[in-house]
Amino acid sequence: MMTPETWRDLQGKLIRDRDHHDWAIGYPGPDDSGAERHIGRVAAYDALVTDMDLIALTRPPGDCWAELRDILAVNRAQVGHYPNDGEMIGRAEAYDEVLAYMAEGSA
């Protein structure tokens, strides 16, 4: 169940993950050939943080979790059409990770 604390925790996690992948873009490791995946994850996390801000301002608290899950499902379905694009793979990984986190948080 979504509470203000779980919402804040998820948003904080997204920001930390976004910052981590943003750093990885600027400082790739010697074997890091996944820059496009990092770029996709940064874009996905950034968009989700913005979506969460908008949802929190426009929806009653009880509707926020379901609204975010709907946005994630639509976004995940859209990126699934590009299985060979590194950036889209990164976005898909980010969306899958957030959906899994939300499932754990609502259990």
Residue 82 phi/psi, 5-degree rounding, is -125, 65
Instruction: Please report which confidence band the pLDDT of residue 32 belongs to, taking 50, 70 and 90 as the band edges.
Output: low
Supply the pLDDT for residue 55: 95
Tens of pLDDT, residues 38-63: 899 999 999 999 999 999 999 988 88
Helix locations, 1-107, DSSP H: 4-26, 35-58, 61-79, 86-105
**How far is residue 35 from each of residues 13, 24, 89, measured CA to CA in Å?**
21, 8, 11
Task: Indicate if the pLDDT at residue 5 is higher than 90.
Answer: no
Cα–Cα dist 30/42, whole Å: 20
Instruction: Please report which confidence band the pLDDT of residue 3 belongs to, taking 50, 70 and 90 as the band edges.
Output: confident
Cα–Cα dist 90/53, whole Å: 22
Task: Indicate if the pLDDT at residue 31 is higher than 60.
Answer: yes
Cα–Cα dist 28/40, whole Å: 15
**How far is residue 44 from each of residues 7, 47, 58, 64, 69, measured CA to CA in Å?**
17, 5, 21, 18, 14
Task: Spell out the domain ranges in the chain.
Answer: 4-105
Supply the pLDDT for residue 107: 47
Tens of pLDDT, residues 82-96: 778 889 999 999 999
